[in-house]
Chain A
Amino acid sequence: MNLDLTIKIGGAAGQGLETIGNVLSKSLLRSGFFVFSTQYYLSRIRGGHNTFQIRISDAEVRAMDENVDILIALDRTSVDRHLDEMTDGVVIVDRDVVELGSDHDSIFHVPMLKIAKEVGGNKIYANTVAAGAAIGLLCLGLDPLNEVLKGMFLKKGQEIIDSNLRVAKAGYDYVRENYPHGCKFNVSAPEAKGDRMLIAGSEAAGLGALAAGVQFMSAYPMTPSTGVLNYVAGHAGEFGVVVEQAEDEIAALNMALGASFTGARSMVTTAGGGFSLMVEALGLAGITETPVLIFLAQRPGPATGLPTMTEQGDLLFALHAAQGEFPRCILAPGTPDECFYMVADAFNIAEKYQIPVFVMSDQYLADSLFTCDRFDTSRITIERHLLSDQELRTKHGDYRRYKLTPNGISPRALPGQEGMLVCADSDEHDEFGRIDESQENRIRMVDKRMRKLEMLREEMNPPSLYGPRDAKLTLIGWGSTYGPLAEAVDMLNEDGHPTNLLHFNHIYPMPAEKVKETLARSKKRICVENNYTGQFARLLRAETGIEVSDRVLRYDGLPFTPMSIIEALREKQVI
């Protein structure tokens, strides 16, 4: 990695941070860089202090860095709060607008408002001036930014596009002509651009659902799951998806089950609070063996907690939620490409095993922009596991929705077929779906349902290994901490601490034997999680009997950074 720079944009909610952030991120991707962007925002629509942080490199970047090279400060708070994060960088401020307390060498005045008014004819263009200025400081070409602006304002008409292009250039020129030290960040764009995309976890999960042929989605909005809902709803008409905003989460999951029972590939999206309300219906999915995908985007709780921040605090809740015992599956993608492919896998697992399947994300994964290889739709298959017409004809008259089978999976048919009836019941039922409260039947049915878990266990992926096979130190993580952990592993190895990472994205049921084998080589195991109680470490012990030596836990609402992991390891004197 020759180049590793971070641009941070700071300002109040409502100042348009996200727009400049997205424009810059995409322009830098188009210039050929690897880009990683995260947002920090408070639960308010205006005011407060928010940031959008973009990291660029000529090699893969998987997490955010704590040092800032360029700070675009849209208000005074941004300068006050982030000045000490600056390496030897530049703070771009419009001093006509922002009154500063003290002066500092790195502060560089760019009259964004003035340029916006004079060149664009309207103050609304100030943020585009800022984007142009940032590209100017990097001394890159303007073409990618121009292309991004054109695409973005396509629907608003030529006039708006032209004004944006003019002000972007004016911001760019101003910097090139006025920055006192010539070209400070003289970076050159990588030659090979690669077939890459810049995407957030939410969008990737939404795309995955569309690719996997989702037909019905019901949800009640809740941050940070709303991104997936919005994405699918935005394309529902064109993809033939029925999206229903339910009156509450109770209705949402019950609806998804009604649609799924009738034959539609169905999913719900929610966060912890909403999932709390879905818990009873989760059990209904369990006993009626109705497939459903639950996209659970975590945020810190309990109750409403920190609405816009991140945590991995709902793992054991998802695992144990609902009364009684029934099989379920939990997946936790670590990156947007995993979101994309894993949502598709989740539908197939749900339909094959006729169980509820969770895909667990969190605010960090949902909202951060990652550079990924272009998604390959040919890797996605749609497996419905429904009885064929031919099979149906032979079953005529004797269709048993809950037939006892050696692997526990019963033949799934849909209501509405001539000569057969499909009956599902939340009470314990016989093979036909009719209530049967006898002890013999109860045992048969519980055994039947639980048998599925053993077959699924064999199909689950063991954790992936990153870094040298025989390292002294093994970090263990799950879900969205993949990026910061992988970077921490790279840094530790460079510093002479042989370390590897075992990362789990197939969480439950855990293929215990395979996991034990993989972990057998590790000498010292540290589990790194975004929660207080070390939920994954507990699950690992419960499923495999393996104890970790220590835990690195973070629960302040923020995601791990590679440095924060390394510092925690130092504090614990592991390294």
Chain B
Amino acid sequence: MHGTTKGGTAYSLRRRLMVAMMVGFIIILSVVSVGLWGYARNAANSTYDLLLDGASIAVLERISMTPEGVAIDFPPSALEILGLAREDRVFYRIFTGNGQTLTGRSDLPLPRRGGKNPDSQFYDADYSGETVRFILRGRQIPGPKAPQWINVQIGQTRAARDEMQRDLFSNGLLGLTALAVIGLIFVRIGINLALRPLSGIEADIRNREPSDLAPLKATPPREVESLIGTINAFMRRLETSKDNAQTFIADVAHQLRTSLSSLRGQLELAAEQKDPKLAAARLEKASDQVGRTIRLTNQLLSHAMVIHRADSQLRDRVDIEALVKTALEEIIRDDVDSRMDYEFHMDEARAGDMVVAGDAIALREALRNVIDNARKHGASGGLVRIELSDQLVAGNPAIAIAVEDNGPGVAPEEYDNVLKRFYTIGGKGESGIGLAIVKAVVEGHEGTLSLSRASGGGLRVQMVLPVGEIKGDQV
């Protein structure tokens, strides 16, 4: 999956896991190789020490005391055994307990301190520019006179040992490394298996038709289940909004076509009419039809606008009282001659504080439509009552705007229908879109819209808008 996540570049899960596993393996390998190095050294030493030991015993055994002194019968086999290591040089020295060299090199180094075993001890020492492994073995040799302590010191350079140690170590390490590599391969396979549902989802989405919003079919592991669930919920929302948009466009097309067809019909009739008086009457009808079409178009555009604005989630400080004032000013200006009366009620003490965070334009549109609706359906010479009050919705402050007319009212079973687009009661040549706009605006503000019977028998429309978080300036 490419692209970036919010707040930085995207990282690769796979790479992260692999790096973590590699670091783990490297730590394990380092610890193990330290141990392995020591083990290989011991193994090499003990192997070659046996040879040294054997040689020293063989030499010591052939030393005897004669009346002439110490007799040394140096067994060639002893040195042959040591000669098995071809690369190595061998040094020896036989000397008495008081350090008098009988044969061999007198300058061979002695151990720095006495070993645990006074009879024999192994040690490394530098000699002739190399590290040499020595054995020092001593024995009381009984003789005709007093028994004498004789030491045999044999040294062998470390080449063969070191090679063996290196061999052991590198073979061991090779095995371990192979094991680590195989482990990493398994880890990688595991990661791929774990991530497969994700790439499956990706491929699923990538290969879809743009219009296909069906839920993802992957059966995800538990860890990814909620992600898939969220994606599917999002697709459902998308589908709903797409369906709404399609229905809306279809509705609009139908309404406008109908309106324009009848306009065309009126105009054709007028054109065919020979009698100028009748033609004028036809034109009058056509003109009314144009007026209706314009109103319808404006309502439709207004509806589209509030839906679009609901998506953009504008939240300014909106003074509802001021909004009611301007809405009334506009309605009365456009309808100067009507006998309709308006009443406004709110708690005087709350003047200037009836404020919500919202989209001023959309709310204004909604309010106009509600008041217009009440004005149209009220009794002639009737009264439209507008009331603002504070409410609590789920513990949060909200403002209720209620608009009542004193008309014939709406039957409760029709409440759901009158909120639908293009649904009109009584057919006064209206678009039937007003309350649908109101509903869209209220829903965009996460508020509620409810219809009920007004005290005077007319319709009461109540919008409850959550106050929300108010910041910014008064609009």
Decide if A and B are genuine partners.
no
